[in-house]
Amino acid sequence: MSAPTVSRVLNGRGDVAPATRERIESLIRAHGYRRRGGRSRERIGLLDLVFNDLDSPWAVEILRGVEDAAHTVGTGIVVSAIHRRAGSTRRWLENVRSRSSDGAILVTTDLDPALKAELRELHVPAVVVDPVGIPDLDTPTIGATNWAGGLSAIGHLTALGHRRIAFVAGRPELWCSRARLDGYRAGLETAGLAVDDDLVVPGEFDYESGFRAGEHLMGLADPPTAVFAASDQMALGVYEALRRGGLRVPADVSVIGFDDLPEAHWASPPLTTVRQPLADMGRLAVRTVHRIVRGEAIESPRVELATELVVRDSTAPPPGEG
Amino acid sequence: MSAPTVSRVLNGRGDVAPATRERIESLIRAHGYRRRGGRSRERIGLLDLVFNDLDSPWAVEILRGVEDAAHTVGTGIVVSAIHRRAGSTRRWLENVRSRSSDGAILVTTDLDPALKAELRELHVPAVVVDPVGIPDLDTPTIGATNWAGGLSAIGHLTALGHRRIAFVAGRPELWCSRARLDGYRAGLETAGLAVDDDLVVPGEFDYESGFRAGEHLMGLADPPTAVFAASDQMALGVYEALRRGGLRVPADVSVIGFDDLPEAHWASPPLTTVRQPLADMGRLAVRTVHRIVRGEAIESPRVELATELVVRDSTAPPPGEG
C-alpha cells in the first residue's frame, strides 16, 4: 500500500482495489475522530452547551456569555435542548459520541444523574451553569448569590420606607427559592420588621403564577405596599394583576424582580430588579471547562458570582410618604 | 507502506519512520476533514447557525426552531455571533474550515457578500433566515409576509372604529420596513381613510426609538387614538411614553406591535401584535439545508411564511366609542 494509494482512497477515486480501500477506510474511521479532538490538549474545537428548554428566559443570556468566551478562543459552541426527555438525552449523547465533544456546559434545573455518568464515561468534562442553585458538588457548578440578592432587594424597599413587603416565592423544590426567601426574611429582620406569613405567597417562577400571587395579595384585608418577586417573569405577572386592579406601579405599589432579563428594562415602568450576571456565568463556565481540559486545577467545585440591585422606576416610597 | 504502518501513525505510536509518518499525516490532514462531511450524503453531523448578535430579540426564537428540527434528525447546531466585525467573521470561517461544517443558516440583517463567497468556496451550503426582508435571491431565503401583516394590523384597528392611526416605522434601509409601511397604507385605503404623513414616524426597531416616537405622537395637536409599531420592542417603548404621559392602554390609546416575541405576552396589558413564525422559519431553514446537501431541488429561492394577527388586551375601540 503506497502513499498515493492512501491519497486515492481519501480523495474517493475509483482506481483502488476494493479490499485495499476497505482496509484504509476502516482504519481512518476507527481513528479519525479521536485524532481531531486529541490533536492537541491545548486546542478545543467544539464545546457542547445543553439546556433543558430554550424557552427558559435565561437561555439566551447564558448563551451570549458562552458564545462570547468561546468565540474569542476560536471554539465552536454546539447548542442542544434535551427537554427533560430520556429519548432526547439519548440522542444528544449519541451525537456527542460521534463528534467526540471536548467538553459540556449544562444549564439545567433538573440534572439527570445518568447524564453525568455517561459524560464521564465518554471522557467529556462537564460544568453546570445553575441559576437556581442545585447543591451538587461532584460537578463544578457556577451560580449566583441568591441570599444576598434577596437581602439587597428588601434593604432597598425598607430604606424607601416600606413596612408591609410581600414575597412571591419560586419553585419550592429549588434551593435558590429557599435562599431568596431567607434573604427576604433577613432583610426584614435587619430593618426590625416581623415576618408576616400572610405576605409570603407561593409561585413557580413564571408569569402566570406571578399574576395569581398579585391578585391574591391585593385581595388581602391589609395589602402590602411593596412586592418582591423571586423572578422577573413573576414581577411582570404582578404588574398585570395591579393594572387590572386599577393600581399603579410604583405610585400605589412598588415591585422588585429577580434576574434582570432584557424584559425588565422594557417593562412599563422599567423594573427594579436583582441582577444575576448570567452572561458572566456563561463566560466563566467556558474558562472552567478549558482549565479542566488542560488539566489545570479549578478553585472551587461551586462558584457563586455576585448579584446586584438594579434600581429603575418600579420602586418608590409607599403612598402617603416620600 | 503497510496498513499496520498507517494504523501505527493514526495511533500516534513512535515506531514509525519520521518521513513515513510525515507523509501519511499530511495526507490525512489534507483530506480527513473533507471526508467526515462527505462520508454519506444523507447524514449531517453539524450545522452552523450564525447571528450578527445574540441580543437580537429574535435570536432565541429562531434558535428554538432550528434546534428542534436539527435535534430530531440527530444533527448538532453550532451557534456563533459574528457581531458585524470582520475579525469575528474571519475567526468563524476558520472554525468552519477546520470542522468542515455541513451547512450554514445565517440569521442576519446585513449579510456580508464576502461571507457568502467564502462559504461557497468551502462548499458549505447556506440558507438565510431573514425576519427583515433582504431581497437577495442567490442564497435561499426564508422570511415572513410583512406587507400582509401590516394590512391585518390596520384592518383590526379600523374594525374597532379607529380613524387616526399612527405608524412607527422600522429601519428605513430594510425592505421589511417598507413592506410593513405599505401594508399600513393599504389598510387605511381599504377602510376609505387618507394617509396623514404627520402620523408616520421614523423608528429603528428598538425600545428607545419607540419611546421617542410615542412621546412625539402624543405631543401632536391632533394625536392618534391608535399606534401600530413595526416591532414589539418599539410598541413597548410606546407603552412607556403613554404611561409617563398619564395615558392608559387601551382605554386612551390602542397599541399593536409586530413580531410576537415572548415579551408581547408578558407586557402589561398583554400586547396585540402581528406574529412572525420565527421558530417555524428556523425549522424550515434546517429542512432546506438538508435538501440542498442531499442534492434535492428547493421550491423557491425565497419563501415567505404567513404572519398572523394575535389579539390580546392592548387594543379596544377609541375613547367615546365602543
The verdict on A77 and A129 lying in the same domain is: yes
Q: What is the DSSP string of A102-122?
A: S-EEEE-SS--HHHHHHHHHT
A/B interface, count of CB pairs below 8 Å:
172
Domain membership of residue B21 (yes or no) is no
Task: State residue A31's pLDDT score.
Answer: 45
Q: Is the pLDDT of residue A322 over 70?
A: no
Q: What is the DSSP string of B255-306?
A: EEEEE--HHHHHSSSPPEEEEP-HHHHHHHHHHHHHHHHTT---S-SEEEEP
Grid cell 432546506 in the structure block, residue: B288
Residues B233, A266: C-beta atoms closer than 8 Å? yes
Distance between CA atoms of B282 and B130, rounded to whole angstroms? 10
DSSP, res B74: T
- The pLDDT tens digits of the residues spanning A239-275 come to 999 999 999 999 999 999 999 998 999 999 999 999 9
Q: Is B16 helix (H, G, I), strand (E, B) or coil?
A: coil
Domain membership of residue B141 (yes or no) is yes
Domain membership of residue B194 (yes or no) is yes
The verdict on B112 and B135 lying in the same domain is: yes
DSSP, res B248: P
The verdict on A109 and A156 lying in the same domain is: no
B52-56 mean pLDDT: 81
For residue B10, list chain A residues with Cβ-Cβ distance below 8 A: 27-28, 30-32, 35
Q: Residue A47's beta-bridge partner residues?
A: A77
Residues in chain A: 322
The residues, ordered by sequence, that sit 6+ positions from B25 with a Cβ below 8 Å of its Cβ are B9
Beta carbons of A309 and A152 less than 8 angstroms apart:
yes
Distance between CA atoms of B60 and A118, rounded to whole angstroms? 28
B266-275 mean pLDDT: 97
Residues B63, A46: C-beta atoms closer than 8 Å? no
Q: Is the pLDDT of residue A44 over 90?
A: no
The verdict on A150 and A232 lying in the same domain is: yes
Task: State residue A297's pLDDT score.
Answer: 87
Q: Is the pLDDT of residue B40 over 80?
A: no
* Measured CA distances, B244 to A248, A268, B114, B292 (Å): 12, 9, 46, 52
* Residue B181 belongs to domain spanning: 146-275
Q: Which candidate from A74, A81, A269 shows the least CB-CB separation from B243?
A: A269
Domain membership of residue B113 (yes or no) is yes
Residue A71 pLDDT level (bands cut at 50, 70, 90) = confident
Domain membership of residue A112 (yes or no) is yes
Q: Which candidate from A27, A92, A266 shows the least CB-CB separation from B236?
A: A266
The verdict on B244 and B296 lying in the same domain is: no
Residue B134 pLDDT level (bands cut at 50, 70, 90) = low
**Nearest CA-CA partner of B5 in A22, B272, B22:** B22
A176-188 mean pLDDT: 95
The verdict on A58 and A200 lying in the same domain is: no
Report ipTM (2 d.p.). 0.80
Task: State residue B203's pLDDT score.
Answer: 97
Distance between CA atoms of A175 and A131, rounded to whole angstroms? 10
Name which residue leads in pLDDT, B222 or B33.
Answer: B222
Distance between CA atoms of B166 and B222, rounded to whole angstroms? 11
Q: Which candidate from A1, A99, A269 shows the least CB-CB separation from B3?
A: A1
Domain membership of residue B229 (yes or no) is yes
Domain membership of residue B221 (yes or no) is yes
Q: Is the pLDDT of residue B83 over 80?
A: no
The verdict on A108 and A204 lying in the same domain is: no
Residues A78, B75: C-beta atoms closer than 8 Å? no
Phi, psi torsion values for B35, nearest 5 degrees = -60, -35
Beta carbons of B285 and B105 less than 8 angstroms apart:
yes
Query: Most confidently modeled of A29-33, A44-48, A308-312, B105-109?
Result: A308-312
Give the rounded percent of residues in chain A with a pLDDT score beyond 70. Answer: 82
Number of domains in chain A: 3
The verdict on A230 and A259 lying in the same domain is: yes
For residue A88, list chain B residues with Cβ-Cβ distance below 8 A: 71
A204-219 mean pLDDT: 97
- Mean pLDDT for chain A? 85
Task: State residue B33's pLDDT score.
Answer: 32
The verdict on B211 and B135 lying in the same domain is: no
Q: Which candidate from A7, A77, A240 shows the least CB-CB separation from B27?
A: A7
For residue A24, list chain B residues with Cβ-Cβ distance below 8 A: 3, 6
The verdict on A268 and A284 lying in the same domain is: no
B231-243 mean pLDDT: 97
CATH of the domain at B265: 3.40.50.2300
For residue B240, list chain A residues with Cβ-Cβ distance below 8 A: 268-270
Q: How far is A76 from chain B (nearest CA, A)?
A: 6
Grid cell 428540527 in the structure block, residue: B69
The verdict on B155 and B235 lying in the same domain is: yes
Angle between helices B207-218 and B232-244 (to 10 degrees): 40
Q: For chain B, list the strands marked E by DSSP.
A: 46-51, 76-81, 103-107, 126-129, 141-144, 165-168, 200-201, 226-229, 254-259, 272-275, 302-305, 308-310
Distance between CA atoms of A65 and A280, rounded to whole angstroms? 6
Distance between CA atoms of A22 and A259, rounded to whole angstroms? 56
Residue B24 pLDDT level (bands cut at 50, 70, 90) = low
Domain membership of residue A41 (yes or no) is no
Pairing of strands A272-275, A308-310: antiparallel
The verdict on B302 and B221 lying in the same domain is: no
Query: How many CA atoms are closer than 13 Å to the CA of B75, on its beta-carbon side?
Result: 26
